[in-house]
Amino acid sequence: MSEGVAGSLGRSYDVVLTCGPEAMMAEVAALCEAVGISCQVSLDTRMACGIGSCRGCVKKGARGSNLCVCTEGPVFDSFEVAWRA
Ligand code: FES
């Protein structure tokens, strides 16, 4: 999958949108970062309340913050996410 993305990145794109397995999105985000293309990711976490109360959907942010996927996402700029946390 990521080889296909890498091959396509020779073209001119303003942004890449990705969803799916987290490892794949991390790879797509890294490829986009390497060539300077903005990347947005759709995170798929388990959600219990969907209103920001249970904190069950929280994902680590790149700057040490917590990203509440149900209320702040589910789509984030790829640089906001701590992929290897
Ligand atoms: S699902 Fe409960 S805080 Fe997001």
Q: What is the pTM of this model?
A: 0.84
Alpha carbons within 13 angstroms on the beta-carbon side of residue 82 total 11
| Domain presence at residue 85 | no
Cα 9 to averaged position of ligand 1 atoms, centre (Å): 35
Ligand 1 neighbours (beta carbon < 6 A): 47-50, 52-57, 68, 70
Count: domains in the chain = 1
Domain that holds residue 19: 2-80
Tell which one of 46, 47, 59, 76 to mutate to probe ligand 1, the residue whose CB is within 8 A of the most ligand atoms: 47
Amino acid 13: pLDDT: 85
| Domain presence at residue 13 | yes
Low-confidence ranges of the chain (pLDDT < 70): 1-11, 85
| Domain presence at residue 45 | yes
SS3 category, 12: coil
Q: Would you give the DSSP letter of residue 42?
A: E
